[in-house]
């Protein structure tokens, strides 16, 4: 009895393990069938078993197409049957995808994030005026909140202004005498709130849309 035991390491590798070995054996049986009509019926039965694993998607056309594609993939594209969908290409399936570009700009102050740097670059491109001052103030406040998320203590405004000047390559100099940033305690409480006020969220979305519209123009 022990001699008949089989280990998975000794078995053939499953192409799509999620469907299990029994389904792969059914596909092997269909591959060995010489009768095309019977082979087509076996394929439909296999598709039915695959669909039963996701009954809520079983009758969705797009999902049916996916099942037939997976059937051909698990048969190593060797199953000769009449499919209701175009046959997938083995060359396309085995083709390596293009390398995904990912921003690898490792900022000095990681706790600010890349979005802050993008906002600073946009602020630098704006003409001098009240709108730019307000934008810089908003960015500085957000930088302070990000800093406090990283260090739940406190931070002097001059530190934020120094970082802002450094990240803008010296092009933004904020005068702390004009308007002080929000208190650290208020920013910490704000960041700890799981759900904000609905009206506040609406206002934030409105300001973001206006900011994006001005930048695009």
- Please name the residue ranges forming H helices in 8-85: 20-32, 36-52, 61-74
Place of tokens 């609406």: 202
Judged against a pLDDT cut of 90, whether residue 33 lies above it is answered with yes
Highest mean predicted confidence (pLDDT) among 8-12, 97-101, 143-147: 143-147
pTM of the full structure: 0.48
| Nearest CA among 50, 40, 48 for reference residue 81 | 40
CA 150 to chain centre: 23
Q: pLDDT tens, 97-112?
A: 888 776 656 567 888 8
Which two structure tokens, joined as six digits, stand for 33? 């069938």
Which two structure tokens, joined as six digits, stand for 45? 């039965």
Q: pLDDT tens, 118-138?
A: 889 999 999 888 888 889 989
| Nearest CA among 3, 4, 21 for reference residue 12 | 21
Rg (CA), the chain: 30
With vertex at residue 29, the alpha carbon angle to CA 26 and CA 31, rounded to the nearest 5 degrees, is 115
């Amino acid at each position: 009895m022990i001699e008949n035991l089989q280990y998975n390491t000794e078995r053939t590798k499953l192409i799509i393990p999620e469907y299990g070995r029994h389904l792969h054996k059914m596909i092997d049986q269909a591959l060995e069938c010489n009768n095309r009509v019977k082979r087509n019926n076996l394929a439909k039965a296999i598709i039915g078993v695959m669909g039963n694993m996701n009954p809520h998607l079983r009758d969705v056309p797009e999902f049916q197409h996916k099942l037939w594609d997976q059937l051909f993939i698990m048969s190593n594209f060797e199953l000769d049957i009449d499919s209701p969908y175009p046959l997938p290409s083995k060359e396309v399936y085995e083709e390596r995808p293009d390398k995904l570009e990912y921003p690898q700009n490792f900022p000095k102050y990681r706790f600010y994030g890349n979005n802050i740097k993008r906002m600073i670059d946009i602020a630098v491109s704006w003409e001098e005026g009240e709108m730019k001052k307000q934008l810089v103030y908003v960015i500085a406040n957000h930088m302070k909140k990000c800093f406090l998320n990283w260090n739940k203590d406190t931070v002097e405004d001059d530190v934020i202004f120094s970082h802002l000047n450094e990240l803008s390559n010296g092009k933004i100099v904020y005068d702390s005498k004009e308007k002080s940033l929000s208190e650290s305690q208020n920013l910490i409480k704000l960041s700890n709130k799981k759900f904000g006020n609905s009206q506040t969220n609406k206002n934030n979305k409105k300001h973001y849309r206006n900011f994006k519209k001005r930048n695009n123009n």
